[in-house]
Amino acid sequence: MGNVTSSVAARLAFFPPEPATYGVEPADQDGAGAGSLLRMTGVSPDAGVEVRALPTRAGTRVVSAFWRHPAARLTLLYSHGNAADLGQMLGLLLELRTHLRVNIMSYDYSGYGASTGKPSEYNTYNDIEAVYDCLKKEYGIEEEDLILYGQSVGSGPTLHLASRLENIRGVVLHSGILSGIRVLYPVKVTLWFDIFKNIDKIKQVDCPVLVIHGRAQPMRSWTSRMASGCGS
């Protein structure tokens, strides 16, 4: 029964858009080796974005997009919801960059968009670890200047990484889940076969956490307040 329930929770957790809303191709004629810059096809180009395909420990390659802001002091690592890919998130990512005046690092989970492999709980953990490694090595981003943002199922990889880092600036959980099984049933204890055990992992997070949940708070009002906070 446990394995069946866990399997159902996993199937409900991931809805990659089919077909993907964009593709990737080499940004120049030198090819697309490991770490080489790519170009997103099917979406309007933006001079401030750098696209890469990053290898993960699971053997997949996840597409990341670094949206640079010229006046940024902080970087937001954005993990999106379960039914979107980077092509669909373009408008929101540009708005966040503009209003918050931060760099945005976004990525597609394995099996989403132009990322290879299949989506799973543990693949999302490998995905965000690969993206974080890229932020450190390619862009020199320090923990103290990093904010982790997870929306919906993105709260899973966000809290996975946040629970392993000691000095990040903060965490934003936007419509986050307590756990996979708790989306289906009002259980009060954590079951061994549950997925995305966020309710337990958040106890290991030692930084400011902003929780956004419900319908009363418009995004534009929230971004205005966050911009004020990031600028102080």
Residue 69 structural domain? 4-212
Asked whether residue 217 carries a pLDDT value surpassing 90, the answer given is no
Residue 176 counted as domain residue: yes
Asked whether residue 208 carries a pLDDT value surpassing 80, the answer given is yes
Residue 231 counted as domain residue: no
Distance CA 68, CA 42 (A): 20
Locate 52 and state its tokens.
């890469």
Distance CA 45, CA 195 (A): 36
Residue 72 counted as domain residue: yes
Say what the pTM is.
0.85
Alpha-carbon dihedral angle through residues 120, 80, 193, 207, given to the nearest 10 degrees: 130
According to the model, what pLDDT value does residue 205 have?
A: 96
CATH of the domain at 207: 3.40.50.1820
Residue 226 counted as domain residue: no
Asked whether residue 224 carries a pLDDT value surpassing 80, the answer given is no
Residue 155 counted as domain residue: yes
Residue 224 counted as domain residue: no
Distance CA 151, CA 204 (A): 19
Residue 222 counted as domain residue: no
Residue 228 counted as domain residue: no
Tally the domains of the chain.
1
DSSP string, 172-219: EEES--S-HHHHHS--SS--TT-S--HHHHGGG--S-EEEE-SSSS-H
How many residues in the chain? Answer: 232
pLDDT tier, 169 (very low <50, low <70, confident <90, very high otherwise): very high
Q: Calculate mean pLDDT across residues 188-199.
A: 88
pLDDT tier, 70 (very low <50, low <70, confident <90, very high otherwise): very high
